Structure 1
Amino acid sequence: MLTTWTVEDGRCRVREGAMSDITDALPNEAREAAAAVAAPEALRRAIWIDLLNPTPAEEKAVQAALRVEIPTREEMQEIESSSRLYREDDALFLTANFLYGVDSGEYSSTAITFVLTNTTLVTVRYASPKAFTVFSARAQRQPVSLLVSADAVMLHLFEQIVDRLADILERVGADMDRASQRTFRAARTNLKANRRDDQLKETLITLGQVGEVTTRTSETLLGLNRILAFVSAEKASAVRKENQPLIKTLVRDVRSLVDHANFLNSKAQFLLDAVLGVINVEQNAIIKTFTVASVALMPPTLIASIYGMNYENMPELKWEYGYPLAIALMIGSAILPVWYFRRKGWL
């Protein structure tokens, strides 16, 4: 889908599927000519062109209108820096992976390319991070401050992405705090084994999700940091002077979020070690119980084995009280190890 953002008379004009919007209003015989002439003019007037899952026809229309080469989806997946951050003539090509889908729980990362020319910003994406939706709504309400120029749109969009990442990290931190309380509460209280196991399992799942989100958030922040460093080097020709302070603010915000993401990763690792420690303690307690039971049952088993032999010359077989004596001996030999373990503090 191709969406264009234009500011006319201080008002924001948004057209989704700009090619069809222009041609559908004309008679049938004039549509082909209008698509070839009017559509490029409309695209050139746009401050921001957002390509979401673009078709080949939409890519060609933007390329013809702006005279820039739009990267393909395969090219956007390249990981080397020279393929993600580069300049061609007067256009900057900036690509990074961005986190999306956190609200739905089906989070992942997607490559998004920003093509910045002197007059137009083109974004090419194949997913919809929430930051784009929020920024689109803000741009319609505040076109004069957000849609001033192509570089201003890009930097304000980066601001929205950073704000969104900050919200995600705050939410992750809150989830981790709840997981921490749940873990240590389960370790302190005398809950039933099934209930305690369920809480520990839920904590492990939460920590796994937290680790995945923070890792992808760190990846997004790393990509943003590289983009901002590249834009800073090119700001003399790519960014208007009044917008250059935004770059410094974004760099500081990104660095602070990187530090916070690293802190959350360290905390998640600590909690994971704590959960595994609690599980190991419980497993050791179970093994200890079986060990004590085995040791306690060894003497009675020995006694029963001795008197289970079928030799004729066994005087105890003819004792009147031999059977109850053997039973009492087995019970006493089982109690004695348990008493000894308790005296030593092993139980």
Structure 2
Amino acid sequence: MTTPSPIIAVDVMGGDFGPSVVIPGALQAAREDGFRLILVGQEDKVTEELAKHNTNGIDFRVVHASEVALSGEKPSDILRRKKDASIQVACRLVASGEADGIVSPGHSGASVACGMFIIGRIPGVERPALATIMPTEKTPTIIADVGANVDCKPHHLFQFGLMADAYAQAVLETPSPRIGILSIGEEEGKGNTLVKEAYEMFKMAKCVNFMGNVEGRDLFTGEVDIVVCDGFVGNVALKLSEGLAGSLGRILKRELLHSTLAAKLGTLLAKGAFKRVATFVDYAEYGGAALLGLKGIFIVGHGKSSERAVRSAVKMGALLVRKKTNDRLIANISANEELTLFGKATK
């Protein structure tokens, strides 16, 4: 039996650049991978942008949304007062079954709020988690959570690991992803109460490959496939990594400009390697973070998403649908249901 083509709703008003970047990125993704699109946004602006592109052979439709969720607005205000915001309309398409997933660049707070209250959580999932993919010396590593939940309990961290396990199997194609908890030491017993109690839950877990604690210095070594932490720590780690990558690039450029002729010639010879490294650390390679634990697939893109980043995010959304990631996630949660309930009961 032929698997139906995924249908991805794209919030084209999201991000810093709106339709001028989101639409061409989404169209390119659909043309390359052959899935269907629903472009959600202010119809006049969407139509104006579409007129600039060749859409022959792309299966899409436009759904009008009169309002836009602005970056400075509180998620609760967007949820209550902007019922016709493009992100809300796109989420309702997923909730009604008209779309399998949504991609929205930019407002992560609104994404979490609309995802939880419009699409809804998978039964058994207490809190959705934002999971992002980080480059390492070896294969990429997934970090969950990176900002959806700043105050967590041990069973939340445990569920983040279960959900990230399903995500890693789909995206990294790793049959048994190695999971570690981010802590201040590798030894068992290191860390705060949150980490220690989550550690005990992972030790008793079914269907996961738990490796123990990992330290901050291990984020880029590739020794584990998944790093679990609360959203406060995860977001700091993510922003620190982004800032460090940018600063190192600028420092290197500055030093090369003031270097000797021989060093500049060496730089020219190594230009290809520099480009490969730049691609390796570029967030646009994966496009965004997956909001795991919802009844539909949700990819939250970077606010400054380029066409390439949007293309990657939309392709990621379609991939997760095709790989039936939520089915595997549900299986992980179900297999460890008693342990999760035990974790709640001990609080």
What TM-score does the superposition give when structure 1 sets the normalisation length?
0.24
Structure with bigger helix share is 1
What TM-score does the superposition give when structure 2 sets the normalisation length?
0.24
